[in-house]
Amino acid sequence: MVTKQLCFLPHSIVYNSSRSKQIKRAMTKDPNKPRGKTSSYAFFVATCREEHKKKHPGTSVSFAEFSKKCSERWKTMSAKEKVKFEEMAKNDKVRYDREMKSYVPPKGAKKGKKKKDPNAPKRPPSAFFVFCSDHRPKIKEENPGISIGDIAKKLGELWATQSSKDKAPYEAKAAKLKEKYEKDIAAYRAKGGSGKSDAGKKSGPGRPAPKKAEPADDDDDDDDDDDDEEDEEDDDDDDDDD
């Protein structure tokens, strides 16, 4: 049975997971909104956690150790062993879709993240990210199968060992990219933030003059930072799949 193979965690270490983000989301979330879909892997992890509690009541495990062991076990499981959890995920998706059809969000509810304009200039990378772009391929080559987290750790450690002289080329390149970005974003905003110029449009009777473009909110820049990090991770995922 699959369940006999799931109990793999030491019971002498303490479970200590930060829940601040979860609490923050819970405080702002609509209590009437249907619970989100649960993946097959999430059902597997929940099963492991429950089995550990039954086998070792009153004890728990560290979040990092628990996640690592679950991930390792999931990768070694056969397709037949995963069927149970995949069926649970399918049933939960049916439940979610059914509940969402009848769900009515409250008035004034925050909508999804504003769609990013594909024409908007992309924020420039920092000196560290320029350094990462140069050294990431070598780390992957020297460490086949290395995880994204471990790659980031090695890059951080390698960057910390660089002298000011070693970092200078990356800082210079980052400065040039930043200068180019500032020029590009200024031109982008001058065109109304759409990348399309209003030149050639006439204003006259019955046609109001085009409004002067307002500076974009700082929040947009923050979103760009998040997108840059997501892009970095997506690139790593693609490389790992290859």
Please say if the pLDDT value at position 222 is more than 60: no
Find the DSSP H helices in the chain.
Answer: 20-28, 40-55, 63-76, 79-101, 127-142, 148-160, 164-190, 218-241
> pLDDT-based confidence at 218, cuts 50/70/90?
very low
Mean pLDDT of the chain: 75
Does residue 231 belong to any structural domain of this protein?
no
Are the CB atoms for 68 and 8 separated by under 8 Å?
no
Structure tokens at 69: 């062991």
Given this model, what pLDDT does residue 113 score?
A: 65
**With 70 as the cut, is the pLDDT of residue 16 above it?**
no
Dihedral over Cα of 77, 80, 84, 89: its sign: positive
71 with 35, same domain?
A: yes
Residue 40: CATH number of its domain:
1.10.30.10
Look at residue 134 in the predicted model and tell me its pLDDT.
Answer: 92
Question: Looking at residue 31, what is its pLDDT?
Answer: 82
The residue type at 191 = K
SS (H, E, C) 157-184: HHHHCCCHHHHHHHHHHHHHHHHHHHHH
Model confidence at 21, in pLDDT bands (50, 70, 90)?
low
Beta bridge partners of 142: none
Does residue 216 register a pLDDT over 70?
Answer: no
Domain C-terminal end among 147, 167, 191: 191
In a domain, 198, yes or no: no
Same domain for 74 and 137, yes or no, is no
C-alpha to C-alpha distance for 16 and 62, rounded to whole angstroms: 5
Least confident of 3-7, 33-37, 152-156, 169-173: 3-7
93 and 133 belong to one structural domain: no
What residue has token string 């951080």? Answer: 156
Asked whether residue 97 is assigned to any structural domain, the reply reads yes
* Residue 92 sits in the same domain as residue 138: no
Segment 165-215, tens digit of pLDDT: 999 999 999 999 999 999 998 988 888 765 554 444 444 444 444 444 444
What pLDDT does 4 receive?
Answer: 46
- What's the rounded mean pLDDT across residues 38-56? 88
The angle that helices 148-160 and 127-142 make with each other, rounded to 10 degrees, is 120
pLDDT at 213: 44
CA 215 to the chain's CA centroid: 27
Mean of the pLDDT values across residues 149-176?
Answer: 92
Who contacts 198 (Cβ-Cβ below 8 Å, separation ≥6)? Answer: 191, 192, 210
Query: What mean pLDDT comes out for the span 37-41?
Result: 92
Q: Looking at the domain assignment, is residue 1 inside a domain?
A: no
Q: Are 51 and 7 contacting, i.e. CB atoms less than 8 angstroms apart?
A: yes
Structure confidence by residue, pLDDT tens digits, 226-240: 445 445 444 444 444
Task: Give the residue from 168, 191, 214 where a domain finishes.
Answer: 191
What range defines the domain where residue 57 resides?
Answer: 18-102
The DSSP call for residue 112 is: S
For residue 87, pLDDT over 90 is answered with yes
Within-domain flag for 72? yes
- Overall domain count for the chain: 2
200 or 137, higher pLDDT: 137
Statement to judge: residues 88 and 151 lie in one domain = no
